[in-house]
Structure 1
Amino acid sequence: MASQKRKKSFFTWMLTLGCFAVRNTQEAHHNHDFHFTAIGTTRSLLNLIVISSVDDVQLCHYNKQNQQVVMKKAWMYQALGAKEIERKQKKLISLEKNFSWAFRNLIKNETRSEKNHTLQVFVDCELDKDIQVSSQFQFALDGEDFCRMDEQLGHWVAMKPEAQRFKPLWDSALWNRLVKHYIQEDCINSMKKILQYSRMRENVPPDVTVSRHDAPDGRVTFFCRATGFYPRSIMLHWEKDGALGAWGQESSSGTLPNADATFFVQITLELPPSDPGTGFTCVVEHSELGTPAIFPVPGKPSMERPWAMVLSIIAVIILVLSCAGAFITWKKRKTGMRS
């Protein structure tokens, strides 16, 4: 009975935790995420770090060493107020005890009690034009996925054999109520408040370039690159003569961060040798573009251009040799006059 109460206490504190603020709501894609990282042994908790971010901008930070909630933005102190910050700080201090309990129970077969382990909790929710589009709740132990919430299936999935013994807890009505309440109240609703207060950063449309490569064996490869855009959500796809289809082997780099906190993505399309690669376009959809933007793929390089380059090089060589010959002739004449 006492063990069940401790389990409920651990997950209750974990779900009611967060750092909040307020900012102007924008009709675009936004995400709110929490990262909990605990390091400890079966005997003690060595450190606990909590980070909250909205649209990849860090809002607040906490660690066990100083037990202080630090707001990364000055306006956060005014938005929350001293009492709210103090209340959340007390929750985080209490959470340290619950992570200690987690290490003792999640790692029961550990023979070396002094060995360090890492427990991480990832919580993420996304809005698109003020509508919730997705949410994520996931646990990881020692860098490996432990369990996660499957939105489509509507239940929790054990991702390691050791996690199976916790399924009765995850499948309980209490646990599911707590998860739904946390995602709605602490992730979705708090993000809306954050978006109503102040703009985190300016949105930027993507800078798009489209290129092609013609291989000697006749294969044609297209590249469509979008970079420097914000927010992260973007969609790129290929069309031929204005229609969707499958014409070759497609691949994508995935959306990656740039050093300036914007994002980058590149998609490629490799055509078979029989396809000349005409009529293709790259279509880019991003909130800052308004409507989908169409970027035509360049045509096949003309064969006349290499010959023009060769003739230009020959002309330059002839000019240089002529100048050299004239200089040598002038030098000889000058030397003969002196003699």
Structure 2
Amino acid sequence: MASEKKKKKPFFTWMLILGAFAARETQEAYHSHDFYFTATGSSGSFLDFIVITVVDDVQLCSYHKEKHQVVMKEAWMYQALGASEIAQKQQKLLDLEKNFQWAFKNLIKNQTKSEKNHTLQVFVNCEVDKDIQVSSHFQFALDGEDFCQMVEEPGHWVATKPEAQHFKFLWDSPFWKRRVKHYIQEDCIDSMNKVLQYSSMRENVPPEVTVSRHDAPDGRVTLSCRATGFYPRSILLYWEKDGELGVWGQESSSGTLPNADATFYLQVTLELPSGVPGTGYTCVVEHSELETPATFPVPGKPYMERTLVMALSILAVIILVLSCAGAFIRWKKRKTGITNQLEGPFPSPPAIPLQ
């Protein structure tokens, strides 16, 4: 089984490389819109309801049960959507509160402790590339555990908990399929396009890139390329050797993750087989804020032998200087002792008798 995986690995790696080339043409046109619904309550009460929407990983707006009002993150977003559409969204969310109340009553009606508070979460996502929908997701969770989710296309649902099977009649109904399709198109895709046509979600920033290498005692070399502080999210990082793409070793990626300032970072590593020197490699970075693909060469192997020789040489010089100083001090003491002996009291000469 392990040998089969090894045989397939180069094929899948090449598929990733080909996918990277294809992504270069579309990375600027890719956008995503995410909805996060969180409700808290029991079969007899509805305590809280919060909605947050995010476009390209930047918060667009929020809604809270207490205020019953859609709050846009930035002032220009009100103009992008328009007062009429925002009012419609508020009404839809008011109606959605009733749907969540119905869900609490039916999801937990068989529990003995029906008054216990529960948390129901819903995640909705749509993604477009060059104005073409490429994917959409619906996912439900109850008390932090997956409940059911929509996969592949609107209308195909999978129950992730046995209790979810009781609602299969609802998912398979034409009414529910129309609601899901309508929501994805109108509330997710159309709203996102209106915002993006008006303005980008934030100022674009090019990535800051650092490349490093680590030489293990057993001869393995690991190369690392890190891009951080960039926006928008779409970015490509890949390895070349002497200007050529290829399968050079075991590659891994951190995935594109958010920073605290709403920018992103991505780190990719390349572990070379033992004995491969790791010379001639570069990290290539492509981002919409870079006019052309930027290349960052991997630093050379650190000369440990030269460092050791230099350290030993310095140590030898220090020892030699100390030895010379010690010899000089001993010679000085010896010289001082001889001089003191020569300058000391001498015996009186013998008396000469008078004639």
Normalized against structure 1, the TM-score is what? 0.78
How far does residue 206 in structure 1 lie from its aligned partner after superposition?
1.5
Task: Supply the AA of the counterpart residue of 1:33.
Answer: D
The answer (yes or no) to whether the contact 2:30–2:234 under 8 Å persists in 1 is: yes
Separation in structure 1 between the aligned mates of residue 321 and residue 133 of structure 2, nearest angstrom: 70
Equivalent-residue separation in structure 2 for 1:114 and 1:254 (angstroms): 41
Deviation at 1:151, TM superposition (A): 2.0
Deviates more, 1:33-42 or 1:106-115: 106-115
Counterparts in 2 of 1:78 and 1:281: CA distance versus 1, 3 Å: closer
1:86 counterpart letter in structure 2: A
Aligned to 1:131: 132
Instruction: Tell me whether 1:201 sits opposite 2:202 in the alignment.
Output: yes
Shift in alpha-carbon separation, 1:218–1:133, aligned structure 2, 3 A: same
For the structure 1 residues 98 and 304, does the alpha-carbon distance in structure 2 shift closer, same or farther, using more than 3 Å as the test? same
State how 1:258-297 maps to structure 2 within 5 Å: 258-297=259-298
The 3-state SS of whatever aligns with 2:315 is helix
1:72-106 Cα distance to aligned partner (Å, 9 max, x none)? 22223444454543343233222222111001112
CA contact (8 A) 2:30 2:127 kept: yes
Counterparts in 2 of 1:109-148, with a 5 A limit? 109-148=110-149
Q: Is the 8 A contact 2:125 2:136 kept in 1?
A: yes
1:238·1:281 contact (CA, 8 Å) conserved in 2?
yes
2:104 matched to 1:103?
yes
Q: CA deviation at 1:274?
A: 2.8
Deviations 1:97-153 (A, max 9, x none): 211100111223321122111111111222334333332222111112222221269
Match for residue 41 of structure 2? 40
Q: CA deviation at 1:304?
A: 4.8
Distance 1:251 1:220 in 2: 14
Amino acid corresponding to residue 181 of structure 2 in structure 1? K
Structure 2 residue 143 is the aligned partner of structure 1 residue 160: no
The Cα shift of 1:67 comes to: 2.0
Partner amino acid, structure 1, of 2:37:
F
Q: C-alpha distance in 2, partners of 1:279/1:199?
A: 38
Query: Residue in 1 aligned with 2:340?
Result: none
Match of 1:227 in 2: 228
Distance change in 2, residues 1:299/1:177 (3 Å): same
Task: Tell me, in whole angstroms, the C-alpha distance in 2 between the residues paired with 1:221 and 1:132.
Answer: 38
Separation in structure 2 between the aligned mates of residue 193 and residue 261 of structure 1, nearest angstrom: 21
Larger Rg: 2
Amino acid paired to 2:115: E
Deviation string 1:161-214 (CA, Å, 9 cap, x unpaired) is: 221222232233332222222212221111111112123211122211111111
What per-residue deviation string (whole Å, max 9, x for no partner) do you get for residues 287-311 of structure 1? 3235443333222223453145415
Between the aligned residues of both structures, percent identity stands at 77
Question: What SS does the aligned partner of 1:288 have?
Answer: coil
Which range is displaced more, 259-268 or 300-309? Answer: 300-309
3-state SS of paired residue (1:196): helix
| Whole-angstrom distance in 1 between the partners of 2:57 and 2:214 | 35
Contiguous gaps of at least 5 residues in structure 1: 1-25, 333-339
Which segment drifts farther, 129-138 or 197-206?
Answer: 129-138
Of 40-49 and 274-283, more deviation after overlay is shown by: 274-283
**1:29·1:231 contact (CA, 8 Å) conserved in 2?**
no
Aligned to 1:148, the other structure's residue is in SS state strand
1:241 is displaced (CA, Å) by 4.0
Match of residue 75 from structure 2? 74
